[in-house]
A and B are shown apart, each in its own frame.
Chain A
């Protein structure tokens, strides 16, 4: 019965004008100090992980024989070894850089795999709906209720420990959340006019999903991918901490933390401190950047 115009406030927020939406988001993101600082810190970490070994002049496996036997005193951080050495006399500045590099790569590739699988899966379930959706989401529910870390370790043991399997394995166990989120989003995009139009004019579902649904999922996918990276880094570090992940002479932050913590009673605390510092800073960086993106893209949904 209410014929008096309602506020048209709601409409402007859902404007279809993509460029201004992204520009707005960028402005909001820049204004978020914690998030912008995080991006800067992450960039510095990336630079360190790429150029660290060159800067130090040591390679990962190279042993400084002069410190062997008295690592507590000779292996301290110094002008020769910026972060000190490990118990085998290897340069920690180099090793931390390599470890950070591996962790970042695992995080990024794992997240990419998870995003790819999760987005496709969720978009298909959400787009077709009905029985298919039911079955597909039921499967996600079931898969979610399994302690996948054990399954992943089982797979690593059976198929041999390789870094590639680690990437794929972690990626494949991390797509479930992504699939759920994407499905929910797809359900609402499906009912929008431009999708209905495409359906009516007989465009194949595959192209509708690719052309109309996926681009509209971009915002949420980017946000969750950013939040997924630190989680995958956590998984990888966990596995490497147990000695089941990345193998010598390669290393990752988890493996470095593990060896640092096994040496700490000998007073070589730097062995724990530097890898731990980069681990914590990297995770914080991704979490804050992800939160910042979420706030920037969806200002209503704080916290």
Chain B
């Protein structure tokens, strides 16, 4: 059994105008101790998908499908049951460490409350644990740092605090939603190292959400490529990079800067990013796809599964990237 099995997940937002189909039938799975990368540009529904899994979606969202965590469908659980799973089984860290911490409470209070609530620890005992966790994420002088307020930490330090906070109850899954986007490049690398170590040390499975293929290349085992709330392609990191089989993936790869290419020929995917308020019958990437066929406009591409890879595209796989 997979640790996490997402089946045909849909998230639709009711708005005053048209409904927004933010996540549109997504399926993937996550194994124990695995690092899975979810890649896609802004607005492709990556965050909403994970929010829906743990019941953090906003009130105007309607979620359907299945999200099986160790065989239990998270979407069927009530609020109280979900609360017990959050932080203890599935923890999350978010994109912007500058705003993710409560600015009005000390770090110690924000961390310790997790342990006192979920594990019934005494405050003093919980604080010891927190110091230990801050050591794990390599925050120097953890004992004193614990008493500080968030604004006294730098962005990278705050992200470490958030990671430490997420790991306090040793969750099975850590969902990291663009954990490095808001940080500068050297700090990014440190956070990536840290996440890798954590998988090593605690065996935590990580879902790493990002725009940045470069980041994914170095640390994930498998990749899911999303566009317009749908999975375009998924497979092992190696296979996706060496032989992309979806036009969107190739476009993404072309957009990554590389040393072996002239720096001003960086390509940007042509066309406007998708507005999810329009829902096509066909493939969401069709308007920007350089391979597009007449049928792409009419029918949604079937999901093909072959040698561990999944893709949704009408174009013959052998034509792509050539």
Contact = CB atoms under 8 A, between A and B. Distances in A.
Verify that A and B bind, or say they do not.
yes
Interface of A: 1-8
Interface stretch (B138-146, B252-260, B293-301): B252-260
A8 B273 CA distance: 9
Contacts of B170: none
Contacts of A1: 185, 211-212, 214-215, 257
Contact of B255 (A3, A7, A8): A3
A6 B257 contact: no
A73 B212 CA distance: 84
Given A2-B211, A3-B266, A8 B252 contact: no
A4 B43 contact: no
Nearest to A9: B275
Given A3-B255, A7-B272, A7-B273, 4 more contacts: A1-B211, A3-B266, A4-B41, A4-B211
Contacts of B266: 3
B63 interface: no
A199 B268 CA distance: 35
Contacts of A4: 41-42, 211, 252, 255, 268-269, 273
12 contacts: A1-B257, A2-B212, A3-B255, A3-B257, A4-B268, A4-B269, A5-B41, A6-B273, A7-B43, A7-B272, A7-B273, A8-B272
Contacts of A6: 41-42, 273
A2 to B, nearest CB: 5
A1 B211 CA distance: 9
B181 interface: yes
Label chain A's interface by main secondary structure: loop
Contacts of B211: 1-2, 4
Interface in B244-277: 252, 255-257, 266, 268-269, 272-273
B181 A2 contact: yes
Nearest to A4: B41
A4 B215 CA distance: 14
A31 to B, nearest CB: 12
B268 A3 contact: yes
A1 to B, nearest CB: 5
Contacts of A7: 42-43, 272-273
The 4 lowest CB-CB distance pairs between A and B, nearest first, are A4-B41, A2-B211, A3-B255, A1-B212
A7 B274 CA distance: 8
Contacts of B272: 5, 7-8
A8 B274 CA distance: 11
Nearest to A5: B268
A1 B212 CA distance: 7
Contacts of A5: 41, 268-269, 272-273
Contacts of B257: 1, 3
Contacts of B269: 4-5
A5 B211 CA distance: 11
